[in-house]
Each structure stands twice: as structure tokens, then as C-alpha cells.
Structure 1
Amino acid sequence: MDPIVIIGSGLAGYNVARELRKLDKHAPLTIVTADGGEFYSKPMLSNALTKRQAPAAIPLNSAEQMAQQLPATVRVRTRVTAIDTAAHRVSIGEETLACSKLVLAFGAAQIRVPIGGDGAGAVMTVNSLDDYARFRSAIDGKQRVAVIGAGLIGCEFANDLAASGYEVEVVDIAGQPLPRLLPPAGGALLQEKLAALGVVWHFGTGVKTVDRDSGAYRVALGDGSIIHADIVLSAIGLKPELELARAAGLATARGIMVNRHLETSAPDVYALGDCAEIEGLVLPFVMPIMHAARALGATLAGNRTAVSYPAMPVLVKTPACPTIVSPPAPAAVGEWRVETAADSVKSLFVDAAGKLLGFALNGAATSERAKLMKELPPVLA
């Protein structure tokens, strides 16, 4: 029997494998990954400095340990170059690997915007343990870090770096941090608390050029100001990895399109995690991955199971200003009702009838998370 093949060894890929093994301990299983195959939580990369975790200490298991625990064949540093959905085969260069079912857990890539200058190629991103190891090596002995992007990833890295003694400047074309997740009052409190930690903000402008400057970098912004930095980190956001899926003829939009059973447009091919789009939703967070992995594990074991998503608040790892968000659905109609107090902002998104559709909690208001969660509608019933 040909194996079930999972492409990707992130939280999505490994957790599908684990859920499958709870129900079927014998089905042949192969995991193919371009990375080292270590089992770790990618969100933990943005606060490892203050935890004094070296990159090598972040993984919970090595690829060899995962292969033994599952059990499965885990092929590391191996890149899939093509997918033939009709023949149930994937290509790894000149090698062809047959599969009974295929799971796409590619994840997402960092968004890069065009930047000029002779130092643009040195702008770093962190989207894997390998990336993070390179980043930690690069900042060792350095002091000044410029961060491009004030979204979730950028703010978490800014907090971690500033709390660890680095001089941090953050650039974003928006007018506040976390512009897609926080209403203005919550964004203002986060901005204030990180500024107190030493973070310097540059809002309403972008990076125009990055040029080498005596062993460091000269970062020119669109508003004419200049940042001098030893390291430049781009943390603008993520976009689903779609190249292989598109080349294979799978239906894609913002992500690889799947139904409630995580089935793509091709038989026996599934997708989940940061690369997947289900009913218009792309949810690059841990909890949606866990729910999807549980449903898909059951399906792969022979019990076709639809995924559902309850309300799933997201903890933003900015200890300088504790923040928890549960954004309203993109099509939700309503208004933000905001209560502010000393070191606290409570923002509730409600409809015309006063029903809670989402929230954003900063500071002491985060203590209300459990109570408010009970009032929220499911993300996908």
C-alpha cells in the first residue's frame, strides 16, 4: 500500500500525523519537509530571547525522535518539486514518490515589499527555526535593530528585542501597531507601552532603501527620515505558499481552497494550516491548526469528518502590554464600544442588537477573556 504523504513538518503537518496515529497506528506514513524536521511551535520564535532560549533549545523533538514516536518516515531537507494529483505522485527532483493520499501543509511565506539600495538583499526574515538561528547569530554583539512591520509578528519581535536590551525602531505604513486587530485606543496603549520599553515608532511611512554603511545599514524612509541599524528585520506578514498547488492545477484563491472536510479540488488531496483557505477564511494561528488537524486525522483514518472552529482568541506575545484579540468576521456589521482605564483598554465589537461579535483586550482587561469568550459566536459552526 502506498503511504499517506504529508508535505510540511510544521504544527499542521506533525499534528495531522499525530491525530492519524491516535486512530490508525499502522497506515504507511511519510512526511517530506524542506526544513530540518524538528518539532517546535513557530510562534515561540518571537519571544525566545527574553526566555533565554538558544535556537537549538527551542525544538521539543528532533526529526529522528518524531519518526520514532509516530512512527513515520521523515525526509528532511527534501523539497517537493511537483505534484501529479491524477497519478497520486509527488516529484522530488528526479525521484517520484507514490501516495495513497496527500496532505499539503506548506505553511506560509513572509511577505516582502520592494526595497531599493545595495543592502536590500541583507534584510532578514524569520519564518522557520533555520531563519531564527541565522537571525540570532546576526544580532549577536549588535545593538540596533530596525523592524519593518508593526503587525503581530513585528510587535512581538520588537517587544522581545527591546526587553533584551536592543535598540529597536519599527516602521509601518499604518498609523498604529496591530492595525488589523486593534481599534485605535488599543493600538495607542500598545504603542505607549512598547515606547516605554524603548521602541521607537515610525508610522505612516515605509522603507524606501536599505544601504550598507560602514558595517551597518542606512535605512531611508519614505518621509525622508533615516534609521541607522545593525540588522534589518522584515516582519510585514505572511502569505500562503501556493506555487506547487497552482502548478498542480488545484483551485486557489487567497489560499489553497478546501471544503469543510479539508478536501481540495483534487480527489485524495487535502490541505490545512497557513496555506489553506476554508470558506473564505485563512487562519494562520495555532488553534485553527489544531482543530483542523483533529478533523483531518479522523478523515485519513477512514471517518470523514468536517472541521468546525469555535471562537479562538489570539494571545499577542507583548508582555509590555498584554493583548488578546478575537477579531469579528470580515463581513460582520457593527461597531466598536471602547472602555479605557489606567493601563487597560476593553474594546467590544457588537451588532445593532448589542450581540458580541469580537473583542480586543489590552492590559488588565485581558482578565475578562474567559467570560467574553462564552458570548462569542463560533468562527465556523
Structure 2
Amino acid sequence: MVDIKSACYEINDWLINVRRDLHKTPELGLEEFETKAKIIKYLKEIGVDYIEYKNHTGVTAFINGKHSKTAAIRADIDALPIDENLDLPFKSIYKGRMHACGHDAHTAMLLGACKVLFKLKDQLNVNVKFFFQPAEETVGGARLMIEDGCMENPKVDFIFGIHVMPHIESGTIELKYNNLNASTDTIFLTIRGSKAHGAYPHKGVDAIIVASHIISALQTIVSRNTDPSSGVVISLGMIDGGISENIICDKVNIRGTIRTLDNNNRIFVKERINEICKFISKSFDASYSLEIKSGYPALINSNNLVNYVRNNLCDVFGDEKVIIRNSPSMGAEDFSFFLSHCEGVFYHIGCANEKKGLDAPLHSSEFNIDESCLVIGVISHVKNILSLN
């Protein structure tokens, strides 16, 4: 029986160096060319097989032992358009780009799991795919990889993914049954009225007045049309209209986001938004155009695999180090696309160390991790794969 902890801690220094190497050169979604080159360099050192894709910067490594079942592990590889405000020897060398969401850590953990599992390939009971996925922060690179066949040949039966979290101390792991993340859709709404002199408003149709009524009414979808406990958010973050203080505005553009936790509410909210825009516009003799662009689906974990991971991690780290999250996040995660094709589980690895001041939030210019979390992620991946039958 292999000592998983020892096997993973043997590569701890290597893991930290890999993470720092990736941290220095952050790249935005679908521009991860240097990151991809580094990933391939490490895969070649490991000796594992891999494939590249023509349409994007993703990479899939694989250990194919001709088993009847196949498991996949995914890491996102892209960074954010943020200036890093940390004095680190491995600070981002690119102005306006930073690994502020921990994807450098996720990638290092997956490379570490690949390194350990490749050495232990004769003990595997499943084929293993390692997805190095681009563009999680932008266009949803998971969908691009799926379209290019990453879930087939051999067909993936189970998938695992993790995210570092600064609200959890390093060494602790957080799991969630059922819904973990919300779906996301983007609202593009235009209200059209007609211009008139500001002194004679009755001769025009004021698009600003129409927009204000629609904005107020849309919030009643959350407060009056859906169950308060069901998890629905409608946030309108952009509004633009008017050309002068004394001209009645004839056009207002509004953009916003919708977050829901189940597909029934997702469908209902879209329909209700259209109804409200239609009837309020008509009541003011205005017109409207509405596009709701679909984003990521809700991330709903497979509960049997949550139990599986929970048992595995309690066995390795102890019950006190594995916590259960009660409420879902209204943030989005494109790992959900993979869950449309197979069973899977996405969970959180603590990366904070409050005593060291390492607790800045994700997507901030001060975000950093306690690097002791890296080996925790590798151990988690390796344990989950080796325990599959």
C-alpha cells in the first residue's frame, strides 16, 4: 500500500518552484501561450503523454492503462487583468496581469498529481486525464475543451476539480453537497423613446423614465416572484443614456447579470424580465430590445462523489480538517460544463494563513497563498484517483 502523503511531500519543493514559475508569467484567457509552454515542459520532464489543441491554449495529459473507467482532474490556467501589489521575488513580470485567483496554484497541484500518479501508474484502476484548461475567467474554456473532444476517447466517467480559497486556513478542505455555484447570464437591454426639448417633455418619450421603472420592477422578480430561499440575483451594473441636460433622452442602454441556482428559476427569470420590459415599455409608448446571453450553468455536485471525496480526505487528513459548506456561492464556475457530461465534484482547498497576513480576497491585487496548501491539493487529487475501482 503506497504512502500517499510521503509520495506527495517528496515533491513539495518542486511544487513550490513550479507555482512560483507560473506566478511570474500570468496570461489572460486564450492568451496563455507561455503558460502552455511551461506546462508542456513539465509534462515532458514527467514523461507523461499529452495532446494540444488547435483552437485554444488548453492541454490534456493522460495515463491510459486500458481500464474500463476513466477519471479526469481539471485545473484552470488563466490569470486576471490586475496589477499585483505584492513585494515577492516571483512577482508578476507583466504589468496589469496577475494570478489573483490562484490558478497558478491549481496548475501546480495538477502537475504535481500528474507527477506522482505517473510514478504509480501500475497501481491505477482507472485511466486518468489531466485537463489544463484555459479561459475560465472569460469565455468558459471548459466548453471549448469539451467541443474539442476532451471528454471522449476514452469517455470520462468522473471528474474532480478544486479551487483555493482565502476564507479557509491552509490544511482545511471545504466540501458542498448539491449546488456549489450559480449559473450566470448577461442582460443587454436597450430602451428607445423619442427626443424632445427638455422644456417640453410631453412632446417626446423619455427613455430614462421608462428605464427607471423597468429597473425598479426587475428587482421585484427577486423579492416577490421567486422563493426567497431559492437563490436568485439580478444586478444591473451599467446604464448609459442621454446627450444633454435639456434634451429628452431617446435611448438608454442597460447591462446586468443574472445568477440562479437551478434551471427552472433560470428559465423563469429570463421570461419574467422580458415580460416586464415589454409591458412597461408599452405603457409609456416606448420600445425595447432585449438579449440575454447565456453564460455558465449552475455547478451542481454529484452527492455520491461528494461522499466519496469526503471519506477519502477524512481518511488522509482527519475529520476535523474536512468541513461541509452549508450555503452555495452566487459566483460562477465553468467547471459546471464538465458536469453536464459526467459525474463530478468541485471543492475548496484552504490557502489562508492569518498569522502570516495571507488572507486577502480572491481577485484583489494583494491576493497570495500559503504555499503549504499546494501539497494538500496534490494529496487530495492522488487519493481520489488511487481509491477509484
Give the alignment's TM-score, normalised by structure 2.
Answer: 0.23
> Bigger relative contact order, structure 1 or 2, given CA contacts below 8 A and separation 6+?
2
